[in-house]
């Protein structure tokens, strides 16, 4: 799918507008603080029903307003199919999402229609941050590839919440039943994550080397917190063995919520000694692999790329790395769509073609700019 047009009203600092988006590449030019990232956020909102910048929807409406509205058309180049998506956030704090005029009750349903992959500065945390931030990225990847993963992760978190409550309130009689459920859902999560790790092992090292020219392999490894390849029964026994420590801590100390993903280079944890530039590149390649895996696995025999939202990420690469990075993006004939933000002084002309749509962004207003 690709965005054909979008209508925006009272979203962040963006003035009410309707914009044409029917192109493979869309470039947004403007100084910092003018609304470029806000526009990417609007597209992301229409893809997932949420923001990549905040968990608080009430932070989104334009200053002085308590609501916002987004609407767009998607098109599938290969099948000629079109879909409409709209999202309304009301002053009462309610969010209504409609797909083809039908109200959606679960945002998970959006993933199967027009997912997006956003490249932004905050992604640096996936390479350098705490384990929770890295787990978030890989959970997002797995959810894009397998919708079942979203259901299992939700179920695991629900059982984990109940188990932690039982530990805090001394209702230990519930723990046997909760342990069985936690083990069942955790076992399935581990199976998905092991599969995902294998997919990243096939793609990430080569892609990272192609851009970095480091000369030696950087890989991604999944380290489960529970015993690797343990059965559900073995996990239940392990939870029972650790129960005394859980009771003492009033929380569940083991499980997939404590799994780790690490970068490995020459047998060592790459994140512990890599340069800032090397880690920033690692975060970019994570997103590239996310895009590639979705295109290859989520759509059967007909590859379909997610919409790519790239927020000033090229600033972090030198000229040679920029060119190599572009070689990893989908080819023009693939039907993929990418939206880039650029500062005005950047050499954006080098990456545009005759079909690129270019908008100049100034104080939340968009004006067409001549491309090539």
pLDDT at 199 over 90: yes
CB 338 within 8 A of CB 308: yes
pLDDT at 254 over 70: yes
Residue 209 lies in a domain: yes
Residue 138 lies in a domain: yes
Q: What pLDDT score was predicted for residue 299?
A: 65
Residues 6+ apart with CB under 8 A from 244: none
Residues 140 and 259 placed together within one structural domain of the fold: yes
Q: What pLDDT score was predicted for residue 79?
A: 55
Residue 121 lies in a domain: no
Residue 297 lies in a domain: no
Convert 318-354 to b/e letters by CB count within 10 Å (16 or more is b).
eeebbeebeeebbeeeebbbbbbbbeeebebeebbee
Q: What pLDDT score was predicted for residue 80?
A: 59
Helix axis angle for 175-212 and 147-168, nearest 10°, is 130
Q: Among 2-6, 127-131, 160-164, 332-336, name the one with the lowest average pLDDT.
A: 332-336
Residues 199 and 318 placed together within one structural domain of the fold: no
- Cβ contacts of 223-230, under 8 Å, gap ≥ 24: 223/259, 223/260, 223/261, 223/262, 224/190, 224/193, 224/194, 224/256, 224/259, 225/254, 225/255, 225/256, 225/257, 225/258, 225/259, 225/260, 226/186, 226/190, 226/254, 226/255, 226/256, 230/187
Q: Which of 101, 99, 102 is nearest to 113 (CA)?
A: 99
Tell me the three-class secondary structure of 142-190, residue by residue: HHHHCHHHHHHHHHHHHHHHHHHHHHHCCCHHHHHHHHHHHHHHHHHHH
| Domain stop point among 273, 292, 315 | 273
Residues 104 and 188 placed together within one structural domain of the fold: no
Sheet of 260-265, strands arranged across: 218-223, 260-265, 268-269
Q: What pLDDT score was predicted for residue 39?
A: 98
Residues 133 and 110 placed together within one structural domain of the fold: no
Share of the chain above pLDDT 70, in %: 97
Average the pLDDT over 163-180 and give the result: 96
Average the pLDDT over 272-301 and give the result: 90
Q: What pLDDT score was predicted for residue 221?
A: 97
Q: What pLDDT score was predicted for residue 313?
A: 86
pLDDT at 177 over 70: yes
Residue 204 lies in a domain: yes
Mapping DSSP to helix (H, G, I), strand (E, B) and coil, where does residue 336 land? coil
pLDDT band at 314 (very low <50, low <70, confident <90, very high): confident
Residues 108 and 176 placed together within one structural domain of the fold: no
Residues 93 and 155 placed together within one structural domain of the fold: no
pLDDT at 342 over 90: yes
- Per-residue pLDDT tens digits for 267-286: 999 999 999 999 999 999 99
Q: What pLDDT score was predicted for residue 147?
A: 94
**How many domains is the chain built from?**
2
Residues 43 and 144 placed together within one structural domain of the fold: no
* Per-residue tokens: 347: 């050499």
pLDDT at 371 over 70: no
Residue 292 lies in a domain: no
Q: Which of 189, 141, 76, 149 is nearest to 288 (CA)?
A: 141
pLDDT at 336 over 80: yes
Domain that holds residue 94: 1-115+306-372
Average the pLDDT over 338-347 and give the result: 94
Residues 260 and 345 placed together within one structural domain of the fold: no
Q: Which of 297, 145, 137 is nearest to 220 (CA)?
A: 137
What does the alpha-carbon distance between residue 337 and residue 372 come to, in Å, rounded to a whole number?
18
Average the pLDDT over 164-184 and give the result: 97
Residues 161 and 245 placed together within one structural domain of the fold: yes
Q: What pLDDT score was predicted for residue 300?
A: 60
Total-model pTM: 0.93
pLDDT at 298 over 80: no
Residues 259 and 347 placed together within one structural domain of the fold: no
Fill in the DSSP letter of residue 50.
Answer: S
Residues 230 and 144 placed together within one structural domain of the fold: yes
pLDDT band at 354 (very low <50, low <70, confident <90, very high): confident
Q: What pLDDT score was predicted for residue 304?
A: 86
**What value does the mean pLDDT of the chain take?**
93
- Per-residue pLDDT tens digits for 61-112: 999 999 999 999 998 755 557 899 999 999 999 999 999 999 999 989 898 8
Specify the CATH number for the domain of residue 339: 3.40.50.300
Specify the CATH number for the domain of residue 226: 1.20.1050.90
pLDDT at 330 over 80: yes
């Amino acid at each position: 799918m690709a965005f054909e047009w979008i209508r925006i009203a009272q979203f962040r600092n963006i003035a009410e507008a309707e914009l044409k988006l029917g192109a493979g590449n869309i470039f947004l030019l403007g100084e910092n603080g003018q609304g470029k990232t806000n526009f990417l956020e609007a597209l992301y909102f229409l893809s997932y029903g949420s923001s990549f910048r905040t968990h608080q929807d009430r932070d989104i409406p334009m200053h002085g307003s308590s609501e916002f509205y987004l609407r767009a058309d998607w098109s599938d180049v290969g099948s000629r199919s079109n879909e409409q998506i709209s999202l309304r956030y009301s002053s009462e704090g309610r969010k209504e999402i409609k797909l083809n005029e039908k109200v959606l009750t679960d945002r998970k349903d959006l993933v199967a229609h027009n997912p997006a992959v956003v490249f932004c500065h905050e992604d640096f945390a996936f390479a350098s941050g705490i384990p929770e931030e890295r787990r978030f990225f890989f959970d997002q990847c797995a959810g894009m590839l397998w919708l079942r993963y979203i259901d299992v992760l939700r179920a695991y978190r629900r059982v984990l919440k109940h188990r932690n409550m039982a530990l805090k309130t001394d209702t230990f009689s519930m723990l046997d039943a909760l342990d069985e459920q936690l083990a069942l859902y955790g076992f399935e999560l581990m199976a998905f994550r092991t599969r995902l790790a294998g997919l990243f092992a096939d793609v990430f090292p080569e892609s990272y080397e192609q851009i970095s020219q480091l000369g030696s392999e950087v890989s991604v490894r999944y380290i489960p917190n529970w015993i690797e390849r343990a059965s559900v029964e073995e996990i239940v026994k392990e939870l029972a063995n650790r129960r005394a420590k859980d009771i003492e801590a009033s929380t569940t100390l083991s499980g997939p919520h404590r799994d780790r993903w690490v970068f490995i280079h020459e047998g060592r944890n790459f994140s512990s000694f890599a340069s800032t530039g090397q880690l920033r590149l690692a975060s970019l390649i994570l997103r590239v692999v996310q895009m590639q895996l979705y295109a290859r696995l989520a759509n059967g025999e007909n590859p379909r790329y997610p919409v790519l939202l790239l927020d000033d990420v090229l600033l972090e690469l030198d000229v040679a790395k920029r060119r190599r990075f572009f070689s990893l993006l989908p080819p023009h004939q693939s039907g993929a769509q990418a939206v880039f933000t650029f500062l005005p002084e950047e050499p954006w002309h080098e990456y545009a073609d005759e079909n690129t749509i270019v908008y100049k962004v100034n104080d939340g207003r968009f004006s067409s700019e001549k491309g090539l």
